[in-house]
A and B are shown apart, each in its own frame.
Chain A
């Protein structure tokens, strides 16, 4: 499929580690909201836990803004940034 916005910068949604959020909750959010498989959600959660953060989604700015908003609703610390940033 042709990507008509091939030259538009792609954005990333990043979830950050925090001392409060439970590992099983973070994993649940990744499975439930993003539809990731149990193993992918687990891997991302562990990355957040061990490395301090993980890129959980990449795409058009509007979609990434929605994802970050959703993460905030779940109580996760999340930010967005341009891939070029």
Chain B
């Protein structure tokens, strides 16, 4: 089972097996796709479709990493007049609350007043989407940056430099928000229930002893098996995030201590 972050040689280090990394990376990829799918500036919109038509090819849409770059590439390829036109369209186009409750967790309403919420969303949602997507991509790269020939039972160090810790914690939050929504974790009691259940299962003799991982990698056609896996991932991410944040809080105290000598 994954080991939480601790401070080592100035970095924050956790231990994850290869299968755990792959599954966490897949989850991050799924959430990136979800975010990309909520891009309100989609090619179906009827303005300057030519520019977006060029970038939004099948490959661009299929690749979650590429889909989000599309807007940036589109904007940078436009001349000034078209840039302003696109910017105005972006600001003027009404923003709708996400219909998907998981996406709504990631891109929440800023007010219970619909007019205020819509205006806030219109001005901030695109940047928020991009920011979260970039963060998830960086997290994925961190997960996959490991010796792929390693024995799959091996616990491989995952090193987060302190400068990247806040972004990593943010990515973990987003993943847990989506999981909680899909698993219908509606309040803290539900969340506690998941952790207890996962810990209990971990203490039972595993039916898959000798398998590569402690993750309940059952038949993915079985809804209950998938749910078990998602619960386990939710618990692992909780462990990772909480331990990472403990390191970050220690880092805050260190910053203050180091600043002291500068005070006259």
Contact = CB atoms under 8 A, between A and B. Distances in A.
Contacts of A75: 106, 170, 173-174, 177
A20 to B, nearest CB: 5
B176 A20 contact: yes
A74 B170 contact: yes
Interface of A: 18-22, 24-25, 27-28, 31-32, 65, 68-69, 72-75, 77-81, 85
B109 A28 contact: no
B61 to A, nearest CB: 26
A25 B166 contact: no
A69 B128 contact: yes
A19 B128 contact: no
B190 interface: yes
A81 B109 CA distance: 12
A79 B120 CA distance: 10
Given A72-B108, A77-B108, A81-B111, A25 B173 contact: yes
12 contacts: A19-B188, A21-B173, A22-B242, A24-B249, A25-B242, A27-B249, A28-B252, A65-B120, A68-B110, A72-B110, A73-B131, A78-B110
B169 interface: yes
A24 B245 contact: yes
Nearest to B166: A32
Interface string B227-264: 00000000000100110011011001000000000000
Contacts of B132: 73
A27 B109 CA distance: 22
Interface string B159-178: 00000001001100110110
Interface in B76-132: 105-113, 116, 120, 124, 128, 131-132
B71 interface: no
B24 interface: no
Given A28-B248, A32-B252, A79 B191 contact: no
Contacts of B131: 73
B34 interface: no
Contacts of A22: 238, 241-242, 245
A62 B41 CA distance: 25
A18 B105 CA distance: 10
A69 B131 CA distance: 11
A31 B249 CA distance: 9
Nearest to A81: B111
Given A72-B108, A73-B170, A19 B186 contact: yes
Contacts of A72: 107-108, 110, 124, 128
